[in-house]
Copies of this chain bind each other. A is one copy, B any other.
């Protein structure tokens, strides 16, 4: 049964890969990006250096793989949150809250690592998928007349993503929820407001 055997090999390779990513992340979080070596990563993930080099050529490549893994996971998480919520307004609320929470937990990285990951061009398609996901959820609420339609859904999506990234500097989950409320309030139809 070669198919089953291949699946076993794949599962093993994925497990090793994940162990390497986790070990690297733990080391970088503790010691900083430039202080971590391939030897330390091999030791921490419990594999030989020769095996490690069969998976990744250097620390930078591992960090980029780790980052892409997380970006993909976050996109999947947002899609799952979207699919679980019932009705357009609930979907928007759920997606904004989930993204704010991700931003809240993400910004713990040092500036050096952030700058390094920022340079990764391969993240661009995921970034576009993120904007598209927001735009579609917003467009659906707009079609029901429950948010403003004087600004295009794509521009509203950009506003939401940037506004919610302020969560990275917030001190508590309560503050994150206030930020979601604030961002949502910007989306309300201007006609639904009494002007002061």
A193, B194: Cβ atoms closer than 8 Å: yes
Instruction: Chain B residues near A185: list those with CB within 8 A.
Output: 148, 185-186, 188, 190, 193
Contacts from A to B (Cβ < 8 Å):
111-112, 114-116, 118-119, 121, 146, 148, 150-151, 155-156, 158-159, 161-166, 169-170, 175, 178-179, 181-183, 185-190, 192-196
Which of the listed residues A164, A192, A196 has the most CB atoms from chain B within 10 Å of its own CB? A196
CB distance from A157 to the nearest CB of B (A): 9
- Chain A binding site: helix, strand, loop or mixed by DSSP? helix
B159, A163: Cβ atoms closer than 8 Å: yes
A111, B121: Cβ atoms closer than 8 Å: yes
Using A111-B119, A115-B118, A158-B166 as known contacts, say yes or no to A146 and B196 having CB atoms under 8 A apart: yes
A189, B182: Cβ atoms closer than 8 Å: no
B159, A183: Cβ atoms closer than 8 Å: yes
Known pairs A148-B182, A159-B179. 19 more at Cβ < 8 A? A111-B119, A111-B121, A112-B119, A114-B118, A151-B178, A151-B181, A155-B170, A155-B182, A158-B170, A162-B164, A163-B163, A183-B186, A185-B186, A185-B188, A185-B190, A186-B186, A189-B196, A192-B193, A193-B193
10 contacts between A and B (CB under 8 A): A151-B178, A161-B166, A162-B163, A162-B165, A182-B186, A183-B186, A185-B185, A185-B190, A193-B193, A194-B194
Instruction: Chain B residues near A119: list those with CB within 8 A.
Output: 111-112, 115
